[in-house]
A and B are shown apart, each in its own frame.
Chain A
């Protein structure tokens, strides 16, 4: 119970949150985020109504727009699932971005430089190696965390830059396509290394991987013994210890799989979208995924929905960019969404009441 200074209002924790609040509060939060966004657009002298309308119809209003939104939804979903797995255990994996790059790097190696060339094995190898690389990259931060308690927020964040620069080094250097007119790109992947797409759209097979992973994540976290251990550890470390759960082992495992799933995003992006390794292949998916995982309250199915929303936000952002709106507006809206939804949480779990008059007038 907290007393608001200078008033006689108390903030109290609700014993049980109102079930309706779980739906009403996020919806109001989103509307408020859009409102504040509109305000700042209006301040910079733009017609926010028109911008919002263009964004919406651009992202969801046409077959092309919708398919592009889904294309964005795929990496966002997969990465958010990976991030959410770690968050479940209160492991703050901020390194999704780097793990994506490492996954892309390993998948590219399997596609272009595999010792025995390409064949039916190319695609499975790309998936496995991509996940392995992302997983090992994350494991590098999990080991010091498990043994010495080194803060994984810092280490995973730093490792992002190492991974990004490593990929840049490769595409500007040894892996640069000799026939590429000196552009920082690798050679195009052979057909065996390219994910099939849906019709003429850019929607690729990664969509099914993402949906499969969603169901798998739900089953693992909610219904397996390991998922139970993760939940217990995330809720209370001392209860986990008391119950004989080996937290160190789980830190390593959870971080590995979290990174592996992010690595899968890297694989699907090079194999389904870019068809080659190039700088900037992830537009901050690893960071956006943190917001998505939070907004979805780590629920796998909600992650798909929120990712779709964020995918639409990004596509809508690209569309209005052509009319001179800075792309950073999308980042601003994402930030506002997080701000308001987390702020709205206060209303879900707490209530504000008047302090009883009798209880003192201390400062």
Chain B
């Protein structure tokens, strides 16, 4: 116990314009422990780890590595101090071999490479920790799990004493996850310290020696293994500061506007993205989807908008299957969507407000004049929308990328709402907006609800979900872990479902 901590972060504060990402956070890593960092999105986990691995320099606070105070000016200095990070998105060169990737950036290596020796060394190194890799294989041929092993070996090769893994299991199959955990244990046995960022409760229970919970940039608790229990963690993570808003006056209708029946789909990596999703959204109802980011939210929105193929199951709009439809047919069925990526998917950055407002209606009969677009009529329509939704344009023909976030979102919502939809999918509708703009967007959504629109609200902010939703569905790892009425459910229950603490995919209603 006299050994100094491998890492000690004392009172780290890091501010970005408008937000304090880390507010006097304390964090330490002991030799031979696995320390889990837990927190919602935006709670400051990545910022804290970026400070530790030299990507950001903190505004205040100390970084102490094995008892010595350090000031990292670049990631290289952090690596030299024995801090290695495995990012969620691997930093490997696809067309290089494993060995070439591992030695990349190593300045101690002689000019003339003795690849044979290096490969032998890598084989020994990886075998010692049970990491199966072939140093001669080309990276582009490797599976995701193998690439992750290469990243870990790379850090070991550079002599990392502290290994940070950012959501390492997000891309892995259960078997690979098991192997990874065994490897991590091997490494702690040699006195190394490991930081794992994760959202999954069962993983916390399985591997954590200690847990630190971050919320809104502050460290709310650090618990020892014997103190850890699921209820507390969920509570610590989502917090208790949620205000219930006034009850909605009109109850939702009973028309089934959107219905998903046992929907399965794959994510971009070709792994299961959604598994057996079934729920219904009624007219005049806001159905909130809660969940840690990356639990299948994007896939869910894309499947309904027909931007992603369904591997099995059915998507129905007003009891009509749209499973085999094109995105355009989905639009014609009345599916409107405010996508996560507003500028780039929802809006065309270099086009002006008018061209953006007709992005979906340009093919309507009303805007046609033969093969031409009726520019006079479109201009009129656009002017109406701009004044009705209070969109502030600096110049009518300026590219929309110059607009503020709030105006962009109003522009998008104006277009989607006036397209006369049956269903509106709103993905992170207020992300990055200030309080006033947030309020405006929320009022628009509630107004549309009272007009009978069905709204699927995907959000990472539980406060927003509780404020707007009639019912809440919780996504975890591509599954619905529960559907609860918003008025009669506690935040902690949703928090537990978000981390699938109960591990039983039961659904109500």
Binding site for B on A (CB under 8 A): 15-16, 219, 223-226, 228-229, 231-232, 235-236, 238-239, 241-246, 360-363
| Contact in complex: A224, B402 (CB < 8 Å) | no
- B396 CB-CB contact with A under 8 Å: no
| Contact in complex: A15, B402 (CB < 8 Å) | yes
- Nearest residue in A to B371 (C-beta to C-beta)? A224
| Contact in complex: A245, B307 (CB < 8 Å) | no
Which residue from A219, A223, A236, A363 sits with its C-beta under 8 Å from B344? A236
| Contact in complex: B359, A362 (CB < 8 Å) | no
| Contact in complex: A225, B373 (CB < 8 Å) | yes
Shortest Cβ distance from residue B376 to the other chain A in the assembled complex, whole angstroms:
12
| Contact in complex: B349, A246 (CB < 8 Å) | no
Shortest Cβ distance from residue A174 to the other chain B in the assembled complex, whole angstroms:
42
**What would 19 more interface pairs be, CB under 8 Å, given A231-B355, A362-B73?**
A16-B398, A223-B373, A224-B373, A225-B363, A226-B371, A228-B358, A228-B362, A235-B350, A236-B345, A239-B345, A239-B346, A242-B305, A242-B337, A242-B339, A242-B346, A245-B328, A361-B73, A362-B57, A363-B74
Binding site for A on B (CB under 8 A): 57, 73-74, 305, 307, 326-331, 337, 339, 341, 344-351, 355, 358-360, 362-363, 368, 371-373, 375, 398, 402
| Contact in complex: B326, A246 (CB < 8 Å) | yes
Most chain-B Cβ atoms within 10 A of its Cβ — which of A16, A244, A362?
A244
Shortest Cβ distance from residue A56 to the other chain B in the assembled complex, whole angstroms:
37
CA distance A242 to B346 in the complex (A): 7
| Contact in complex: B351, A235 (CB < 8 Å) | yes
Q: List 8 A-B contacts (CB under 8 A).
A: A225-B363, A225-B372, A232-B351, A235-B348, A235-B350, A236-B349, A242-B327, A243-B360
CA distance A327 to B74 in the complex (A): 52
| Contact in complex: B402, A242 (CB < 8 Å) | no
CA distance A16 to B399 in the complex (A): 9
| Contact in complex: A225, B371 (CB < 8 Å) | yes
Tell me which residues across on chain B come within 8 A of A231, comparing CB atoms: 351, 355
| Contact in complex: A362, B74 (CB < 8 Å) | yes
Which residue from B331, B339, B372, B398 sits with its C-beta under 8 Å from A224? B372
CA distance A360 to B360 in the complex (A): 46
Tell me which residues across on chain A come within 8 A of B329, comparing CB atoms: 244
Which residue from A223, A229, A241 sits with its C-beta under 8 Å from B372? A223
| Contact in complex: A238, B345 (CB < 8 Å) | yes
Shortest Cβ distance from residue A227 to the other chain B in the assembled complex, whole angstroms:
8
With known contacts A224-B373, A243-B359, A360-B57, A238–B402 Cβ distance under 8 A: no
| Contact in complex: A16, B402 (CB < 8 Å) | yes
| Contact in complex: A239, B359 (CB < 8 Å) | yes
Tell me which residues across on chain B come within 8 A of A242, comparing CB atoms: 305, 307, 327, 337, 339, 345-346
CA distance A226 to B371 in the complex (A): 8
CA distance A226 to B398 in the complex (A): 22
Tell me which residues across on chain B come within 8 A of A225, comparing CB atoms: 362-363, 368, 371-373
- Nearest residue in B to A245 (C-beta to C-beta)? B328
| Contact in complex: B368, A232 (CB < 8 Å) | no
Which residue from A223, A235, A244, A361 sits with its C-beta under 8 Å from B328? A244
Shortest Cβ distance from residue B444 to the other chain A in the assembled complex, whole angstroms:
20
Tell me which residues across on chain B come within 8 A of A228, comparing CB atoms: 355, 358, 362, 373
Shortest Cβ distance from residue B37 to the other chain A in the assembled complex, whole angstroms:
25
- Nearest residue in B to A15 (C-beta to C-beta)? B402
CA distance A228 to B74 in the complex (A): 46
With known contacts A223-B373, A225-B371, A239–B328 Cβ distance under 8 A: no
With known contacts A225-B362, A228-B373, A241–B307 Cβ distance under 8 A: yes
- What's the count of A-B pairs with C-beta under 8 Å? 77
CA distance A232 to B362 in the complex (A): 11
With known contacts A228-B362, A236-B348, A241-B307, A223–B330 Cβ distance under 8 A: no
| Contact in complex: B375, A244 (CB < 8 Å) | no
CA distance A228 to B307 in the complex (A): 21
- Nearest residue in A to B57 (C-beta to C-beta)? A360
Tell me which residues across on chain B come within 8 A of A15, comparing CB atoms: 402
CA distance A335 to B106 in the complex (A): 40
| Contact in complex: B402, A239 (CB < 8 Å) | no
Which residue from B73, B327, B337, B348 sits with its C-beta under 8 Å from A363? B73
Tell me which residues across on chain B come within 8 A of A16, comparing CB atoms: 398, 402
Q: Top 4 nearest A-B pairs by Cβ distance?
A: A244-B328, A244-B327, A238-B345, A235-B348
Tell me which residues across on chain B come within 8 A of A224, comparing CB atoms: 371-373
CA distance A244 to B345 in the complex (A): 11
CA distance A229 to B373 in the complex (A): 11
CA distance A361 to B71 in the complex (A): 13
Shortest Cβ distance from residue B95 to the other chain A in the assembled complex, whole angstroms:
16
Tell me which residues across on chain A come within 8 A of B355, comparing CB atoms: 228, 231-232
- Nearest residue in A to B344 (C-beta to C-beta)? A236
Tell me which residues across on chain A come within 8 A of B347, comparing CB atoms: 239
| Contact in complex: B373, A239 (CB < 8 Å) | no
- Nearest residue in A to B375 (C-beta to C-beta)? A223
Tell me which residues across on chain B come within 8 A of A223, comparing CB atoms: 372-373, 375
Shortest Cβ distance from residue B79 to the other chain A in the assembled complex, whole angstroms:
14
Which residue from A226, A229, A239, A244 sits with its C-beta under 8 Å from B331? A244
Tell me which residues across on chain B come within 8 A of A243, comparing CB atoms: 327, 331, 359-360
CA distance A238 to B349 in the complex (A): 12
- Nearest residue in B to A238 (C-beta to C-beta)? B345
| Contact in complex: A244, B337 (CB < 8 Å) | no
Shortest Cβ distance from residue B75 to the other chain A in the assembled complex, whole angstroms:
10
Tell me which residues across on chain A come within 8 A of B373, comparing CB atoms: 223-225, 228
Shortest Cβ distance from residue A233 to the other chain B in the assembled complex, whole angstroms:
10
| Contact in complex: B326, A244 (CB < 8 Å) | yes
Shortest Cβ distance from residue B291 to the other chain A in the assembled complex, whole angstroms:
22
Shortest Cβ distance from residue B350 to the other chain A in the assembled complex, whole angstroms:
5
Shortest Cβ distance from residue A254 to the other chain B in the assembled complex, whole angstroms:
15
Shortest Cβ distance from residue B249 to the other chain A in the assembled complex, whole angstroms:
34
With known contacts A223-B372, A232-B359, A241–B348 Cβ distance under 8 A: no
Tell me which residues across on chain A come within 8 A of B371, comparing CB atoms: 224-226
With known contacts A228-B362, A239-B359, A244–B348 Cβ distance under 8 A: no
CA distance A170 to B86 in the complex (A): 61
Most chain-B Cβ atoms within 10 A of its Cβ — which of A226, A242, A361?
A242
Tell me which residues across on chain A come within 8 A of B307, comparing CB atoms: 241-242
Which residue from B327, B349, B358, B402 sits with its C-beta under 8 Å from A241? B327
Tell me which residues across on chain B come within 8 A of A360, comparing CB atoms: 57, 73
CA distance A219 to B370 in the complex (A): 13
| Contact in complex: A238, B398 (CB < 8 Å) | no
CA distance A15 to B349 in the complex (A): 12
CA distance A362 to B56 in the complex (A): 11
| Contact in complex: A239, B348 (CB < 8 Å) | yes
Shortest Cβ distance from residue B342 to the other chain A in the assembled complex, whole angstroms:
10
Tell me which residues across on chain A come within 8 A of B73, comparing CB atoms: 360-363
CA distance A242 to B304 in the complex (A): 12
CA distance A26 to B257 in the complex (A): 56
- Nearest residue in B to A244 (C-beta to C-beta)? B328
Tell me which residues across on chain A come within 8 A of B362, comparing CB atoms: 225, 228-229
Tell me which residues across on chain A come within 8 A of B350, comparing CB atoms: 235
Tell me which residues across on chain A come within 8 A of B328, comparing CB atoms: 244-246
Shortest Cβ distance from residue B352 to the other chain A in the assembled complex, whole angstroms:
11
Shortest Cβ distance from residue B473 to the other chain A in the assembled complex, whole angstroms:
23
CA distance A238 to B298 in the complex (A): 14
CA distance A238 to B337 in the complex (A): 13
CA distance A18 to B329 in the complex (A): 42
- Nearest residue in B to A360 (C-beta to C-beta)? B57
| Contact in complex: A235, B349 (CB < 8 Å) | yes
CA distance A245 to B361 in the complex (A): 11
CA distance A192 to B350 in the complex (A): 48
Tell me which residues across on chain A come within 8 A of B368, comparing CB atoms: 225
